[in-house]
């Protein structure tokens, strides 16, 4: 028996034989052409390009029919990438100017653009290199007449193991794929997104996986505890078969409360919302039992576009979300810069981009861009409950400037007699320690706070969690973080304002016990974990969590705090 581990994506347990999936090799035999062959190669590329667009459009249509919203979005992005002059132009230039064959031109362009993405600091953008590879390899397979391997022909329960899966391959996953194991990948890859949406337990980043697997051998995939057992012995197998039965019963219990309130046993209602990146994902929130959107990440509208989105483009996206009848849709204004760049805007080089020209700092310096977004959000507020949230606030002056621009936009709409919610709420992200420290001052100027725990931890602890050398210091349960959360919650409540959490802390059951005790009113998370968190909340007593909060705030280390919370968590059956 061999035991492995990696990076868990969607948490569950599965036991099944392994199916080894390997991509067809792409071998390029000819690299250079003669000058007289240029026009012929360009014509070949036109034909291949047209066929690739047809294939991608067909994949998108199939996803639309199946209402697989994440896949629709992915293939939309692939269609845009396949037709992007950045890619097609470079391929043609290499044919015309460097006398490369079509295949070699595609291969060189693929490497160049992939390197561009892989050298970015942001995990989301690094993961997009797989999209470039997928689109370019589609061109190559068509050019070389290579038939794509098929995953959807699998007709028996298996755990799929591969080096990696491209989105076009992951889209073939059917009901017989019970789990996924990958040597490569990350939590923000398209495969991870698809696996979460389909509820398939997945572990990625498993070093040396394929070299230790044999086709058809029995595998236990435990993405809850991050364990993979190859050819498990009878004791381990029996233990996990029992765990599976318990997990099924647990999921039935969660389903039973899906449409119920997230309310503690002693009557405290916690608003349970979801984080989304586009209008389609709002449906995932409601189907998971969420009552609203705690964080609409509007930067994805900008990053997936070829230009700054127009007011109409943004309005239509926000309107679609507002019309879904949710308790609230909190739309965060553009949070770009730092590690999130735009393909059509060049940020100046910065020594410390995370501390630089980003988020609210960027929009306040680009007021017309900011006005476009604010008008779009205001107009959408006429079609449902919408709130506006400003990111990365560090001072009162920034809040006042943003509010002044918002008032100017309201006047513009009034003059044009365009409807919007006159009582629209405005809030801010508490992500910088300075904002938490002056929360009592900021609370006088806004309607609500939402703590972005990811950045609050990064800035408070001076830790880049993507840096393997210091990632162990990234501790959301560090005493300093909990004290800042409590201080911010107290300031909000003293001013009669609500406070939420929209960082990753909100989606971890252990943390939720602490957060509720510290006074948080709203938790926003990935839609996939809403049922689990709701089931837990309905079993706890708010008064008990307040006592636990007092105890952990007095602790000296994150280890002490974790032990207390884990012991408390073990009392609940969720």
Q: Of the candidates 441, 492, 432, which has an alpha carbon nearest to the alpha carbon of residue 461?
A: 432
Q: Which DSSP letter does residue 243 get?
A: H
| Residues assigned a catalytic role | 190, 502
Q: How far is CA 132 from the centre of its chain?
A: 19
The token pair at 194 is: 């698809």
Pairing type for strands 498-501 and 522-525 reads parallel
What whole-number distance in Å separates Cα of residue 84 and Cα of residue 86?
A: 5
Long-range (24+ apart) CB contacts under 8 A made by 273-278 are: 273/327, 273/328, 273/330, 273/500, 273/502, 273/522, 273/523, 273/524, 273/525, 274/524, 274/525, 274/526, 274/527, 274/530, 275/502, 275/524, 275/525, 275/526, 275/527, 276/321, 276/527, 278/73, 278/317
Enclosing H/E stretch for 350: none
What residues does 523 pair with on adjacent strands?
272, 501
Q: Give burial (CB, 10 Å; 0-12/13-18/19+) of 573.
A: exposed
What whole-number distance in Å separates Cα of residue 489 and Cα of residue 572?
A: 26
Q: In sequence order, what E strands does 301-370 have? A: 329-332
Q: What is the 3-state secondary structure (H, E, C) of 25-82?
A: CCCCCCCECCHHHHHHHHHHHHHHHHHHHHHHHHHHHHHHHCCCHHHHHHHHHHHHHH
Lookup result for tokens 């936009």: 409
Are the beta carbons of 386 and 420 closer than 8 angstroms?
Answer: no
What whole-number distance in Å separates Cα of residue 508 and Cα of residue 525?
A: 9
Q: Give burial (CB, 10 Å; 0-12/13-18/19+) of 10.
A: buried
Are the beta carbons of 219 and 228 closer than 8 angstroms?
Answer: yes
Q: Which residues contact 551 (CB under 8 A, 6 or more apart)?
A: 564
């Amino acid at each position: 028996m061999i035991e492995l581990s990696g990076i868990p994506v969607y948490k569950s347990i599965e036991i099944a034989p392994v199916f080894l999936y390997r991509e067809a090799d792409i071998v390029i035999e000819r690299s250079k052409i003669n000058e007289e062959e240029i026009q012929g190669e360009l014509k070949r590329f036109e034909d291949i390009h047209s066929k690739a667009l047809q294939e991608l459009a067909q994949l998108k249509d199939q996803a639309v029919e199946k209402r697989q919203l994440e896949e629709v979005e992915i293939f939309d992005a692939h269609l845009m990438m396949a037709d992007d002059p950045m890619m097609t132009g470079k391929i043609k230039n290499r044919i015309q100017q460097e006398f490369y064959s079509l295949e070699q031109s595609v291969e060189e362009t693929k490497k160049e653009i992939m390197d561009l993405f892989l050298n970015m600091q942001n995990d989301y953008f690094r993961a997009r290199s797989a999209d470039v590879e997928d689109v370019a390899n589609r061109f190559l397979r068509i050019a070389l007449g290579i038939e794509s391997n098929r995953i959807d022909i699998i007709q028996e329960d298996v755990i799929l193991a591969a080096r990696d899966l491209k989105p076009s391959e992951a889209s073939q996953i059917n009901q017989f794929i019970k789990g996924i194991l990958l040597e490569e990948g990350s939590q923000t890859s398209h495969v991870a997104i698809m696996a979460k949406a389909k509820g398939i337990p997945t572990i990625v980043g498993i070093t040396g996986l394929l070299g230790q697997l044999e086709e058809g051998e029995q595998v236990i995939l435990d993405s809850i505890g991050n364990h993979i057992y190859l050819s498990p012995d009878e004791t381990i197998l029996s233990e996990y078969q029992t765990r599976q039965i318990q997990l099924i019963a647990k999921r039935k219990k969660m389903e039973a409360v899906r449409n119920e309130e997230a309310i503690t046993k002693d009557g405290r209602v916690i608003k349970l919302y979801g984080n989304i990146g586009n209008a389609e994902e709002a449906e995932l929130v409601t189907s998971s039992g969420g009552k609203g959107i705690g964080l609409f990440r509007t930067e994805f509208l900008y990053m997936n576009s070829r230009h700054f989105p127009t007011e109409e483009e943004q309005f239509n996206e926000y309107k679609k979300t507002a019309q879904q009848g949710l308790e609230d849709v909190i739309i965060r204004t553009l949070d770009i810069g730092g590690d999130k760049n735009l393909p059509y805007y060049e940020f100046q080089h910065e020594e410390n981009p995370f501390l630089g020209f980003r988020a609210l700092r960027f929009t306040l310096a680009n007021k017309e861009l900011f006005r476009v977004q604010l008008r779009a959000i205001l107009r959408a507020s006429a079609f449902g409950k919408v709130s506006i949230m400003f990111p990365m606030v560090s001072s009162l002056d920034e809040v006042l400037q943003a509010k002044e621009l918002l008032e100017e936009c309201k006047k513009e709409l009034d003059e044009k007699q365009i409807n919007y919610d006159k009582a629209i709420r405005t809030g801010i992200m508490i992500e910088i320690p300075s904002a938490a420290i002056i929360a009592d001052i900021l609370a006088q100027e806004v309607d609500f706070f939402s703590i972005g725990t990811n950045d609050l931890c990064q800035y408070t602890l001076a830790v880049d969690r993507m840096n393997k050398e210091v990632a162990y210091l990234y501790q959301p349960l560090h005493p300093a973080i909990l004290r800042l959360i409590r201080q911010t919650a107290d300031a909000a409540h003293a001013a009669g304002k609500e406070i939420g959490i929209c960082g990753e802390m909100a989606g971890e059951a252990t943390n939720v016990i602490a957060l509720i005790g510290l006074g948080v009113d709203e938790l926003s998370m990935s839609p996939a974990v809403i049922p689990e968190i709701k089931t837990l909340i309905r079993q706890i007593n708010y008064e008990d969590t307040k006592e636990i909060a007092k105890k952990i705030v007095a602790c000296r280390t994150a280890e002490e705090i974790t032990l207390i919370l884990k012991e408390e968590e073990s009392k609940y059956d969720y």
